[in-house]
Amino acid sequence: MMKDIVFDLNNVGICYRKVASIRWKNNKFWALHGVSFSVHRGETVGIIGRNGAGKSTLLKILADIIKPDTGTITRAKISVMMQSLGAGFDPRLTGKQNIFLSALMLGMDKNRIYFNVDDIIALADIGAFINEPIRNYSIGMRARLGFSIAYYIDADVMLIDEALATGDHEFKIKATELIKEKIKSDHTVVIVTHAINIVRELCDRVIVIEEGRSLPEVSLEESIEHYMNMKKK
């Protein structure tokens, strides 16, 4: 019996249009055309491909941020979270106030935020800065806070674009371990990445995207090999 399907994409295409362009012709751009694959519950799927191949656009479709122009996507009734660190931050507000804004944005409900706020602050570990406006933060501190909020969001599906974690060196090591643990648990995860070692370590399957298309799925090692050859060209 097949495992439960979380996403099922069938020939999905996305077309961007440029607004306010003087030339009326040629203002269409197909970021994706003909992407088909499915993701099952509990799997970790890697998406690899060269820059501009449409990987991030694909994540936006999975996150339900945009809808495909052609083809279909069937999604299970699940909560999906894109690992968007610091989404919805207002630099003029304090770290604590921003925890509420950003966590609400990422889909945590209000009571849960009240329940988790102390844990989030403890994980971020930025001391008294938590009550300072975040415009006074260093990039590292901001990354710590962003990661800590995202870490406590409990979604069925996690979508990760490029980096597993950001921030200063010390925090990055800790955060990477935490997120790897989360990925290896029964979460369904889709990771867009360039890092082959991450694919090897974490992914059950891998989808190669080339010029807006998904290539027919082959084994993990074959896909990686194909991707390496593609990059050399």
Question: Where does this chain bind another protein (CB under 8 A)?
Answer: 2, 4-6, 8, 14, 16-20, 38, 41, 60, 63-67, 74-78, 82, 84, 87-88, 90, 92-93, 97, 100-101, 104-107, 109-110, 133
Of residues 75 and 194, the one with the C-beta less far from another protein:
75
Give 100 or 195: the residue with its C-beta nearer to another protein. Answer: 100
In the complex with another protein, the residue whose CB is nearer, 125 or 217, is 217
Smallest distance from the beta carbon of 159 to another protein, in angstroms?
A: 10
Q: Output the smallest distance, CB 30 to another protein, in A.
A: 12
| C-beta of 108 vs 141, nearer to another protein | 108
CB of 6 to another protein, least distance (A): 6
- Which residue's CB is nearer to another protein, number 39 or number 53? 39
CA distance 124 to 99: 11
CA 221 to CA 206: how far, in whole Å? 9
Nearest approach in angstroms of CB 101 to another protein is 5
Smallest distance, another protein to C-beta of residue 180, A: 22
